[in-house]
Amino acid sequence: MSETSKLPIGVFDSGVGGLTVVRALMERLPFENIIYFGDTARVPYGVKSVATIEHFTGQITDHLLQRGVKMLIIACNTMAAVASHAVKQRAGDVPVLDVIDAGARAAVQGSAGAIGVIGTPTTVNSNAYARRIHELNPAVRVYSQACPLFVPLVEEGWLDHPVTRMTAQEYLRPVLAEQVDSLVLGCTHYPPIKPLVQDVVGPDVRLVDSAITVAEQAAETLNQLGLANPGETLADYQFTVTDIPLRFQTIGERFLGRSLGTLTKLDW
């Protein structure tokens, strides 16, 4: 066992949504140390230019590499869509995973031919999921739908509210009309409403949760590279943000499913 195996996994996002990825990692890899970085002072990234997103993502990547991580996970669909190449360039030998690649792989593996993708307008407009899915299987048909209201509804805690259900029915009607057999939850804010979405789409449509799939991919990669932590001590979790908004703790703990513990604020 190398000393590297004890190093943490670095997970980062433009805000709080990536905590659903941290939650999946905690469940799948209970012995792994994790550093989470949320750029809460500059969220949302979705309205910013590609050059700005690349610049911000580069800053976060450098920060996590300086702290000494053995793996980087881009837990933000917007960052993954436009800046994953920049992260990989900076990371060198450190493996880089992202939610879009993981979600696309899982969708293709379980689909007979038609896949739906839901996400923020920026992620959908980037066409990143459709491109990656078609790279893996050109024969698959992909139907994407932007769901801009889901993020504020989830942050409001309306996880099983009539308004959220009605919104889901409206958004998903055109996707379901295409007879999709799989639906990718292409935003890290969406896992908390997974039961409601499953209810709306019915039992015949398989939901692909990119948080769970990237955690699975992380487990496989760490084992392949001999970097898995043997777990001689309890896992250590660190959370760094660039701002602590009033509701951050509440929303963050809802996403994580437990207390956030110690939060560190970083001023750029």
Are residues 77 and 153 both part of a single domain? no
* Final residue before a domain boundary, out of 210, 226, 256: 210
CA separation, residue 234 to residues 10, 22, 26, 29, 237 (Å): 17, 16, 12, 12, 10
* Domain ranges, residue 174: 100-210
Are residues 168 and 111 both part of a single domain? yes
Name the phi and psi angles at 37, rounded to 5.
-125, 120
Are residues 202 and 112 both part of a single domain? yes
pLDDT per position as a tens digit, 126-173: 899 999 999 999 999 999 999 999 999 999 999 999 999 999 999 999
C-alpha closest to that of 63 among 35, 92, 42: 35
What dihedral angle (degrees, nearest 10) is formed by the CA atoms of 45, 62, 251, 18? 80
Query: What percent of the chain lies above the pLDDT cut of 70?
Result: 100
CATH of the domain at 189: 3.40.50.1860
Are residues 179 and 233 both part of a single domain? no
Mean pLDDT (whole number) for 170-181: 97
Name the phi and psi angles at 120, rounded to 5.
-75, 160
Mean pLDDT (whole number) for 21-40: 96
Q: According to the model, what pLDDT value does residue 165 have?
A: 98
DSSP assignments along 240-256, one per residue: EES---TTHHHHHHHHH
Are residues 73 and 105 both part of a single domain? no
Q: According to the model, what pLDDT value does residue 121 have?
A: 87
Q: According to the model, what pLDDT value does residue 233 have?
A: 82
> Which one has a higher pLDDT value, 225 or 110?
225
Q: According to the model, what pLDDT value does residue 191 have?
A: 95
Are residues 137 and 8 both part of a single domain? no
Q: According to the model, what pLDDT value does residue 262 have?
A: 81
Are residues 238 and 192 both part of a single domain? no
* Final residue before a domain boundary, out of 163, 186, 210: 210
Cβ atoms within 10 Å, residue 95: 18
Q: For the whole model, what pTM was predicted?
A: 0.93
Are residues 111 and 240 both part of a single domain? no
C-alpha closest to that of 136 among 106, 116, 97, 114: 106
pLDDT band of residue 110 (cuts 50, 70, 90) is: confident
pLDDT band of residue 1 (cuts 50, 70, 90) is: low
- H helices within 73-176, ranges in order? 77-91, 99-109, 121-126, 128-136, 150-155, 162-176
Distance of CA 175 to the CA centre of its chain: 22
Number of domains in the chain: 2
Residues 6+ apart with CB under 8 A from 230: 1, 5, 31
Q: According to the model, what pLDDT value does residue 52 have?
A: 93
Q: Which residues are catalytic?
A: 76, 187
Are residues 56 and 185 both part of a single domain? no
pLDDT per position as a tens digit, 185-216: 999 999 999 999 999 999 999 999 999 999 99
The pair of three-digit structure tokens given for residue 226, joined into one six-digit string: 């001999």
C-alpha closest to that of 81 among 123, 52, 120, 116: 123
Are residues 162 and 218 both part of a single domain? no
Are residues 127 and 217 both part of a single domain? no
